[in-house]
């Protein structure tokens, strides 16, 4: 696994990406900038709906003076600085910002779309395969007939 996105991807205004490790753990983040003069809002996927189950984390700062400032938590943040999704986001964004290689076994992938139904893919294996688990199972079941 390796890094498939660049830092500029995070500042595009509507980015979805997944950070994963070789142990099968992963977090999917969404960064949105609704208007040119608005901040970048960061959310993490916390439920099974790949399009609606995101939880607000804070504000993304693409020009931080120190790594902890790359994600600013606010009063409306649903997580604290010690939560794993916050720590993972700060770590991944800092690596991308500094154009540093990922450690062995880690990957950062932009969202994919299922080649069958077009839904957003957020599980690393599905992103690599290009097909979601439900569509894959449905397709494989059809082959057995």
Q: Is residue 38 part of a domain?
A: yes
How many structural domains comprise the chain?
1
Mean pLDDT of 60-87: 92
Give me the domain span that covers residue 20: 7-110
Q: How confident is the model at residue 129 (pLDDT cuts 50, 70, 90)?
A: confident
E-only strand ranges, the chain: 14-20, 26-32, 40-45, 54-60, 71-72, 107-110, 112-113, 120-121
Q: Is residue 27 part of a domain?
A: yes
Q: How confident is the model at residue 66 (pLDDT cuts 50, 70, 90)?
A: confident
Q: Is the pLDDT of residue 144 over 50?
A: no
**pLDDT 10s digits, 16-46:** 899 999 999 999 999 999 898 999 999 999 9
Q: Is residue 51 part of a domain?
A: yes
Q: Is residue 14 part of a domain?
A: yes
Q: Is residue 135 part of a domain?
A: no
Q: Is residue 17 part of a domain?
A: yes
Q: Is residue 123 part of a domain?
A: no
Q: Is the pLDDT of residue 4 over 60?
A: no
């Amino acid at each position: 696994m390796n890094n498939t996105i660049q830092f500029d991807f995070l500042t595009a205004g509507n980015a979805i990406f997944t950070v994963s490790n070789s142990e099968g753990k992963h977090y999917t983040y969404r960064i949105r900038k609704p208007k040119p003069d608005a901040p970048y809002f960061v959310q993490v996927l916390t439920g099974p709906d790949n399009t609606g189950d995101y939880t607000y984390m804070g504000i993304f700062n693409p020009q931080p003076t120190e790594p902890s400032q790359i994600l600013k938590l606010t009063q409306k943040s649903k997580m604290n600085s010690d939560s794993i999704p916050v720590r993972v986001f700060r770590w991944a964004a800092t690596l991308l910002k500094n154009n540093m290689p990922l450690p062995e076994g880690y990957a950062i992938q932009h969202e994919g779309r299922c080649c069958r139904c077009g839904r957003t893919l957020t599980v690393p294996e599905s992103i690599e395969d290009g097909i979601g688990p439900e569509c894959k199972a449905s397709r494989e079941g059809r082959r057995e007939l």
